[in-house]
Structure 1
Amino acid sequence: MLPKVSVVIPVYNVESYLQRCVDSILNQTFQDFEIILINDGSKDNSGQICDEYAQKDKRIKVIHKKNARVSAARNDGIKIAKGKYLSFIDSDDWIEPEMYQVMVNKAEELNLDVIMCDYKKKSNNYEYKRTQPIREGYYSKDDIKNELFRCLIMFENIEFPPTISNWVCLFNIKFLKRNNLYYDEDIHYCEDSILGSKIMYHAASFYYFKNHYYYNYFYNPASTTNTYNENKWNAYLKINERLKIYFGNTFEYDFTRQIKINMLYFTLNTLGQLKYSGYDSKERLSRIQKIILHPKVTEIFEDFKLPNVSWKMKVAILLIKFKFVRLYSLFVLNKRRLNTLHFTDELLKKPQ
């Protein structure tokens, strides 16, 4: 008999956290699932831990492969999953015992394509509850078009859309495969964002469990999510270009402004991370200049009204628009107490 839920977990060098993650699934009140552990070339004992779990529970399958990063690992899971519904969990995170019972019941009741809950962002020192600025409950296709297309790619206040975190969602597998919805395997940063937008664009039904914090996201401040590197910037450029291709010619809704705000977010985010880089002032200024003068950044401001953000953020955006590189560096990056750029780092989920 086929399982109701397939849980896909990419695994890479997480021997300290993997047991907590897998046990949280095994301890669910809902037990009709399979767990697919994709050991993505781990160099620690993660692969051995995966095998030990598989020996103890026949519902657990393990794939060992050369490292190809998280997008490829998740796609592997989609292709072999046998469940009616699909869930992604990051291997250093964990879920609450009732998560699948509640979400599957609602999915079955309403024949849903996508179901989403909220999450708690946790570290060793604090806990922060994260919810989305949309209403709770059921969305038909018309509701999705009327209410969620306006934030399908980006909110007006330069925040990512509700489905940025794919791991708080339960997906109907037939829906994903029917619409050819897979991760772009050559994108290794912010890979959730582009797929999340595509999923909500195609979804015919959606349900949001607002203020139900079933997912626990372990926050590591040393993660590459929160640090600058040039490969990440190149990935951002690639994501934005693919959003243009995918959503640029839709007749149902004009996503042009959201795509521009998405590029603005990536620009601000990358510049903000340079503040904490180890570059000396000369090298940092050179990298700031390279970003601000990039043609894709210039394109943002063609027929572009400033978004609804704080005055400090607007000043930073105007400095980028008019290419005041040195002034931007002084205003944003060199004043210790000036919180000009406030980013929700959990939106750019941990890459491998």
Structure 2
Amino acid sequence: MELKLSIIIPVYNGEKHIEECIESLTKQTLSDCEFIFVNDGSNDKSVELIQKHLIEDPRIILINQKNSGVSVARNTGIESAKGEYIGFIDSDDFVTNDMFEVLYKEAVKKNADVVVSDYYLGRDGKYVKKKTVFEYGFLYDNESINKKIIPSLITNEDIVLPAVWNKIYRRKFLQDNNFFFLKKFSLEEDILFNIQVISHAKTLFFIDYCGYFYRETVGSASRKIAENSFFDRIIENYNIDIKSLTNITIPYEEVKKFQAVKLVNLSLYYLFKGAIDDQITNKERNLLYKRIILNNDVVFSSKKYKQELLKNKGLLEIVMMFIIRNKLITTAHILGFLLNKIYTPKLSEIFRSLNQKVNVFIK
């Protein structure tokens, strides 16, 4: 008899939170499933902790591989999976006891290739519910998926779409189409996987349910932009030929427009974050401003798709877009200084709004 669900958990040095993850899985009310832990060359106590639970629960499977990255680890899990549906969870996250039973029952009931749920985002020990903008309970067919959902996925305008861990996928559908994670992309592997999978799905369903707890890693994203090649990777992803990689039916120019909108929204987000982030120095802030405002792809996108980008933008976002289009570094410093001094919960709401539009998961 075929298992109902295979849950794939890539693991790399996850000892800090992995026991909470394991315990949330072993308590699942859906018993007819398997938990495939793929150890990606961990050198901490992760494997030891998994093995302890493996003895107690035969549903736990441990696969060891040399360090090859999360995409390869997930692909290893997909190749080993035996369940009717496949789900994912990160080793530092956890789920409610009925998470996968709820998703599985809806998948079977609707005969859906993909089921999407909401999730909880954890920051500073507090979890906030993140909800889709799409209609619950409606079974999207392939035409409506490519017309409505894929554009939102590429631009990141729906916060629940990019990740893989708040979804389950029909395994036969993945196998028949030879869908795997693309190995050479380290920043947006989830999004690229979902673009190719969801764009080919015959049916997709959004469920009004929230059972996944995503733990955001503590650290300064602004410093990542200023100090290392993180923004270079964002630009690299902007230049990815999504259409040829994923074989989607949307015209090339439309895809590039969606990518440009996403790039500028990312830039606005990090300009704002850099202005209010007290964890970075003025030198790092200056580097951040220069990396973004003087980048040719960002400036080009902000000019070419100006009208598209101005939709639903507030005054602060419009001013920041003007700064980008005209490469006004000094003006950016003045605005950033003012924002840092007058930062309030009201501005925090603007920040959250920008965050929802970019939705980059960094762990």
Category of TM-score, reference length = shorter chain: 0.7 to 0.9
- Paired with 2:316 and 2:260, the residues of 1 have a C-alpha distance of 19
- How far 1:27 moved relative to its partner? 1.0
Structure 2 residue identity aligned to 1:68: S
- How far 1:227 moved relative to its partner? 4.4
* Distance change >3 Å, CA 143–CA 47, structure 1 → 2: same
Instruction: Give aligned pairs, total.
Output: 347
Correspondence for 2:359 among 338, 347, 351: 347
Partner of 1:218: 215
Partner of 2:315: 311
CA contact (8 A) 2:159 2:359 kept: no
Please say which of residues 169-178 and 146-155 is displaced more in the overlay. Answer: 146-155
Structure 1 residue identity aligned to 2:41: G
CA contact (8 A) 2:293 2:324 kept: yes
Task: State the secondary structure of the residue aligned to 1:296.
Answer: helix
Partner of 1:190: 188
* Structure 1 runs not aligned, ≥5 long: none
Partner of 2:84: 84
Please say which of residues 30-39 and 282-291 is displaced more in the overlay. Answer: 282-291
CA contact (8 A) 1:244 1:259 kept: no
The answer to which structure has the higher helix fraction is 2
Q: C-alpha offsets along residues 301-323 of structure 1, whole Å, 9 cap, x if unaligned?
A: 34311232211111111111111
Structure 1 residue identity aligned to 2:323: L
Please say which of residues 310-319 and 289-298 is displaced more in the overlay. Answer: 289-298
CA contact (8 A) 2:71 2:181 kept: yes
CA contact (8 A) 2:6 2:33 kept: yes
- How far 1:209 moved relative to its partner? 0.7
| Pairing 1:200–2:198 present | yes
Which runs of structure 2 are paired with 1:49-60 in the superposition (5 Å)?
49-60=49-60
* Distance change >3 Å, CA 321–CA 191, structure 1 → 2: same
- How far 1:237 moved relative to its partner? 1.8
- How far 1:347 moved relative to its partner? 2.6
Which runs of structure 2 are paired with 1:195-274 in the superposition (5 Å)?
195-210=193-208, 212-222=209-219, 227-228=224-225, 229-246=227-244, 252=250, 254-274=254-274
Task: State the secondary structure of the residue aligned to 1:348.
Answer: coil
Structure 1 residue identity aligned to 2:98: E
- Paired with 2:336 and 2:250, the residues of 1 have a C-alpha distance of 39
- Paired with 1:242 and 1:116, the residues of 2 have a C-alpha distance of 25
Partner of 1:100: 100
Partner of 1:35: 35
- Paired with 1:186 and 1:245, the residues of 2 have a C-alpha distance of 16
| Pairing 1:122–2:122 present | yes
Please say which of residues 191-200 and 221-230 is displaced more in the overlay. Answer: 221-230
CA contact (8 A) 2:120 2:210 kept: yes
Please say which of residues 319-328 and 293-302 is displaced more in the overlay. Answer: 293-302
Partner of 2:73: 73
- Paired with 1:200 and 1:315, the residues of 2 have a C-alpha distance of 35
What TM-score does the superposition give when structure 2 sets the normalisation length? Answer: 0.85
CA contact (8 A) 2:196 2:247 kept: no
Structure 1 residue identity aligned to 2:111: N
- Paired with 2:177 and 2:222, the residues of 1 have a C-alpha distance of 29
Task: State the secondary structure of the residue aligned to 1:129.
Answer: strand
Correspondence for 1:328 among 323, 328, 332: 332
- Paired with 1:248 and 1:264, the residues of 2 have a C-alpha distance of 23
* Distance change >3 Å, CA 198–CA 122, structure 1 → 2: same
* Distance change >3 Å, CA 313–CA 282, structure 1 → 2: same
Please say which of residues 200-209 and 292-301 is displaced more in the overlay. Answer: 292-301
Partner of 2:25: 25
- Paired with 1:225 and 1:179, the residues of 2 have a C-alpha distance of 39
Correspondence for 1:175 among 169, 173, 176: 173
What is the RMSD computed on CA atoms of the aligned residues? 2.8
- How far 1:287 moved relative to its partner? 4.2
Structure 2 residue identity aligned to 1:232: F
CA contact (8 A) 1:152 1:201 kept: no
CA contact (8 A) 1:243 1:259 kept: no
* Distance change >3 Å, CA 244–CA 108, structure 1 → 2: closer
Please say which of residues 45-54 and 190-199 is displaced more in the overlay. Answer: 190-199
- How far 1:85 moved relative to its partner? 0.9
CA contact (8 A) 1:38 1:65 kept: yes
- How far 1:204 moved relative to its partner? 1.1
* Structure 2 runs not aligned, ≥5 long: none
Please say which of residues 22-31 and 294-303 is displaced more in the overlay. Answer: 294-303
- How far 1:174 moved relative to its partner? 2.2
| Pairing 1:294–2:291 present | no
Structure 2 residue identity aligned to 1:200: I
- Paired with 1:282 and 1:225, the residues of 2 have a C-alpha distance of 12
- Paired with 2:223 and 2:111, the residues of 1 have a C-alpha distance of 38
Q: C-alpha offsets along residues 222-280 of structure 1, whole Å, 9 cap, x if unaligned?
A: 37698435332122122222255448996545333211111113323444454438664
Percent of residue pairs bearing the same amino acid type = 25
- Paired with 2:41 and 2:267, the residues of 1 have a C-alpha distance of 32
